[in-house]
Amino acid sequence: MGFGLIRGGLRIGKKEVYMVKDGWVYCPICNNKTRTKIRPDTVAKRFPVFCPVCKNESIMDIEKGKAEPTK
C-alpha cells in the first residue's frame, strides 16, 4: 500500500460529513465510529480521539458540531 491515509471527511452522496455523524466522532484514519460523542455546542482544541477499531489516536479540533483533524 503506497498511498497512506484517506483524507477528508466521510462522503455520503455529495455531502461531506466532517468526522461527526449523529454526534459521534468518526475516525479520520479508518472512518469507523469512535466512542467519543460531542454536542453541537462542544468546543475543544487539539482533543485526542481514540479509535477502538484501528487503535490510533487522532488529534481533533471540535467546534460547531464538527471535528477536524489537526496536524
What are the residues binding Zn ion (CB under 5 A)? 27, 29-30, 51, 53-54
Least Å from the CB of residue 31 to Zn ion: 7
DSSP code per residue over 23-68: TEEEPTTT--EEEEE--TT--EEEEEEE-TTT--EEEEEEETTEEE
Record the cell numbers describing residue 54, joined without a space.
Answer: 484501528
Least Å from the CB of residue 41 to Zn ion: 25
Nearer to Zn ion, 33 or 66 (CB): 33
Nearer to Zn ion, 37 or 43 (CB): 37
